[in-house]
Chain A
Amino acid sequence: MPDKSSPNLNDDLIREAVKQEIEYIEAPPAGPAWARIESRLEQPRSSIKKRRFSLTWSRAAAVAAACLILTLGGIGIYRTVDFSAPLADLGMAPESADEVGALRTDNDSFEADEPEETVADSDRQVTLAEADPLPPDWPVVLPGDFRLSEELLLVDAGAPEYSGAIYHNDGMTLLLVKSEDPGEDIHTFLNHLDDHLLLKLHDLERTNGFIRLKVEDRPGLAWQDNGVNQALLVLFGFIPEEDLEEIAASLD
């Protein structure tokens, strides 16, 4: 198919170029790679479980923060954290992905290494599509040195899609969510967020322009900024409400 923007560009040329780009690359020897893959695949779950107790508390706490995200409300936001990622992402020293993965089996409801985007539980399916095509411009660092760990897209049948981001800081985990629908009522947004996360959001109270809420016993805030609904939830760790407000204010 000729391309409008260039008389020379056609599908055959692109196909040939892409084919060469893929097939002319010299890959490292397959043998060692397969040995490592086979070793990982054959690793029994029972031995994986044992190893989690050998981790230091700080590491465990940080990973538990991520696990908590996955298990809150009984379903978890699966895939919000890529456990294969270097632990530097969780604010920890790097260690083997095996050890990180080990903690995933902490909760039976959380099945390790599902495909990239989807998780199912007994009642429903929650899909986390990639945070595209037009993700919000998440700040990399929030006040309190919370660092962006993962972007996500909350997708659920019957509810609008919301973009989210996970932030970590030394065992504390925040979830920041934005609505893509600028005309949405904030209470509708919170109801949908409740549906998305299966988190019970309660104790709603409106002060200082924020709706204050509780996620389990942890604080959360919701507010509107230029008609865009946003929520900031503490998923793990203790963060005072005033600190949350400071973070929320920094997002304006």
Chain B
Amino acid sequence: MEPEKIARLIRQNDVESRRALFEAYYKRTYAVAYNILRRRENAEDITQEAFIKAFQNLHQLQDKEKFGAWLAVIASNLARNFLKREKRIVLVDELPEARSGSESNDTEEAAIRSLEVDRIRNAVRTLPPEQYQVIVLQFYHDLKVDEIADLLKIRSGTVKSRLFRARQKLAESLEPDRDSACLNYEGGDRENA
């Protein structure tokens, strides 16, 4: 959705505008919650709660164009809090197989890239929620470190350290002789990773 349209819908903030925003962001918000919780019912509840909180507090969103990122922060914070309360252990080997994003690629280079992306996807799934959160904000919502810090209300240095640690984990997934970052992950506990 174009930034101007997002800003207009937020200003309007009526039922139709909310519906349009919901439809535009529902799936990705659910995905963020699901990727942290790994349980569909919980992710669905968290997603709904995130939208309700967002709609009830739209007036507090300074930069309307960052609605998607703001929503992702709300959803991921809710999911993180849920995990903290549940003290739930997410076993990595229970995760569904990553669906390949380049099944139709037939060149060797593309195949290697596809394999690397799949390995990183598996590694992304093992990131602790706070690292997953900053990775999503940087690489999906294209936010800068300062913008992430502002949204999360943490220091830029904290964002940088989380990004650094996350990248380290992702890099490990591409190390040679590593069959699968997922299978070799120590502990498999997203809470304590």
Where the two chains meet, the residues of A that have a C-beta atom closer than 8 Å to any C-beta of B are 3, 5-6, 8-9, 11, 13-25, 27-28, 30, 33-34, 36-38, 40-41, 82, 84-86, 89, 97, 112-118, 127, 129-130, 132-133, 140, 150-151, 155
Q: How far is the CA of A205 from the CA of B53 in the complex (A)?
A: 43
- Given A9-B167, A28-B44, A40-B52, does the pair A22, B175 have CB atoms closer than 8 Å? no
Using Cβ atoms and an 8 Å threshold, which residues of chain B touch A5? 167-168, 171-172
In the bound complex, what is the Cα–Cα distance between A3 and B172 (angstroms)?
11
Chain A positions within 8 Å of B168 at CB level: 5
B168-193 interface bits toward A, Cβ cutoff 8 Å, 1 = contact, 0 = none: 10111011000000000000000000
What's the count of A-B pairs with C-beta under 8 Å?
161
A13 touches B120 (CB 8 A): yes
For residue A234, give the distance in angstroms from its CB to the closest CB of chain B: 23
B113 near A13: Cβ-Cβ < 8 Å:
yes
Complex CA–CA separation, A12 to B101 (angstroms): 14
Partner of B22, one of A25, A30, A116: A30
Known contacts A24-B101, A133-B161: A8-B116 contact under CB 8 Å:
yes
Taking a contact as CB atoms under 8 Å apart, the answer to whether B99 and A85 are in contact is no
Of residues 18 to 73 in B, which have CB atoms within 8 Å of A's CB atoms? 18-19, 22-23, 26-28, 30-32, 34-35, 40, 44, 47-49, 51-53, 55-57, 60, 73
- Chain B: residues with Cβ within 8 Å of the partner, total of 65
12 pairs of residues in contact across A and B, judged by CB atoms under 8 Å: A13-B116, A17-B118, A17-B121, A18-B124, A18-B135, A19-B140, A22-B28, A28-B30, A82-B81, A85-B81, A85-B82, A129-B153
**Does B101 contact A16, Cβ atoms closer than 8 Å?**
yes
Residues of B within 8 A of A133 (CB): 130, 154-155, 158, 161-162
Check B56–A41 contact: CB distance below 8 A: yes
Q: How far is the CB of B32 from chain A (nearest CB, A)?
A: 7
Q: Given that A18-B124, A20-B99, A22-B136 are contacting pairs, would A36 and B53 also be in contact in the complex, using a CB cutoff of 8 Å?
A: no
CB pair B117 A41 closer than 8 Å: no
Cα of A97 to Cα of B53 in the assembled complex, Å: 13
Chain B residues, CB < 8 A from A155: 153
With an 8 A cutoff between CB atoms, is B78 at the interface?
A: yes
| Chain B binding surface SS class | helix
Give chain B's interface residues, CB within 8 Å of chain A: 15, 18-19, 22-23, 26-28, 30-32, 34-35, 40, 44, 47-49, 51-53, 55-57, 60, 73-74, 77-78, 80-82, 84-85, 87, 98-99, 101, 113, 116-118, 120-121, 124-125, 130, 135-136, 139-140, 152-155, 158, 161-162, 167-168, 170-172, 174-175
Q: A21-B35, A25-B34, A97-B49 are in contact. Are A16 and B117 (CB under 8 A)?
A: yes
Q: How far is the CA of A21 from the CA of B84 in the complex (A)?
A: 23
Of all A-B residue pairs in the complex, the 5 with the closest CB atoms, nearest first, are: A6-B171, A17-B120, A5-B171, A27-B30, A25-B31
